Amino acid sequence: MAAIRTGLTAFAALALLGGCVAQVPLAEVTRFHLGQPVTRGQIAIQPRDGVQTASLAYENYASSIARELKAQGFAIAGDPARAELVALIGIDRTNRMTGPARSPFSIGIGGGTGGSGFGVGGGVSFPIGKATAPEATRTELFVQIKRRGDSTPIWEGRGRLEARSGTPYASPAAAVDKLAAALFKDFPGESGRTITVR
């Protein structure tokens, strides 16, 4: 029985570890550009949909993008009218049901006795974790950098991730923050190639 209890403890620990890893979703991103160096300069951040400008949520999203642009050598324009470049951002969030969730871990306990050609065997198997039908939220982030003068796009990135309800990345701020970091990873990135970033 001591061995069984030890096994149960080990499997439970693995299940919990698996649950923690599952709470960090992969971000899938694709970047497009002209294959030329992207000139840094003064850049203004604006929503693709002008209606979002006044919202608190938009301010949080813009801060995430601004942080990544600064890290890549851009200067956020104090006066958007004087900016050489414009970064248009768009966020889309949708919910869906994921269906029954089953734990990948199960424990089987079996035993048997036999003798003189007679045997008795039995087994019990049960999953670890809850079987539920959680809602998942998909967050998609769009960023396009273009020249203000002629509105020519010079770089564009699209990213998405999906997180189950109740996990940290189901919140819009955390999801956009992660997607922004993924989009600008190794900027400007390989044009047309889709990569995943944990």
For residue 125, how far is the Cα from the chain centroid?
34
CB atoms within 10 A of CB 23: 14
- Report how far residue 184's alpha carbon sits from residue 175's, in angstroms, rounded to the nearest whole number: 15
User: What would the pLDDT profile of 76-117 be if each residue is shown by its tens digit?
Assistant: 998 888 899 999 999 999 988 876 555 444 444 445 445 444
Of all residues in the chain, the percent with pLDDT exceeding 90 is: 54
pLDDT of residue 96: 84
The dihedral formed by the CA atoms of 193, 65, 181 and 138, expressed in degrees to the nearest 10: -80
Report whether 128 contacts 15 (CB < 8 A): yes
What residue segments make up the domains of the chain, in order of their start?
25-97+133-197
Question: Which residues, at least 6 apart from 81, have a Cβ–Cβ distance to it below 8 Å?
Answer: none
Query: What's the predicted TM-score (pTM) here?
Result: 0.71
- At 17, which helix (H) or strand (E)? helix 2-22
Q: Tell me which fold the domain 25-97+133-197 belongs to.
A: Double Stranded RNA Binding Domain (3.30.160)
User: What would the pLDDT profile of 108-167 be if each residue is shown by its tens digit?
Assistant: 444 544 544 444 444 444 455 554 556 999 999 999 999 999 999 999 999 999 999 889
- At 178, which helix (H) or strand (E)? helix 172-183
Helix (H, G, I), strand (E, B) or coil at 126: strand
pLDDT of residue 53: 60
